[in-house]
Amino acid sequence: MRTNIEIDDELMAKAQMLSNIKTKKAIVEEALQLYVTIENQKKLRELWGKIEVDDKAYE
């Protein structure tokens, strides 16, 4: 999907320096993937202790 967005130049430069990722597109994609991962982890944490897992099913 093509999208035009304005991103703070200093923030982008810091992200490129820290990650060694060369393109702005790749930086944004990496950041979005990280965001999705974090949000999924939050949802899993909310379920912690609420679901009973049958360990015998994995033996």
Residues with Cβ within 8 Å of residue 7, at least 6 apart in sequence: 24, 28
pLDDT in tens, 40-58: 999 988 888 787 777 776 6
Residue in 11, 45, 59 with CA at minimum distance from that of residue 19: 11
Distance of CA 27 to the CA centre of its chain: 11
Global pTM?
Answer: 0.71
Give pLDDT tens digits for 18-35: 999 999 999 999 999 999
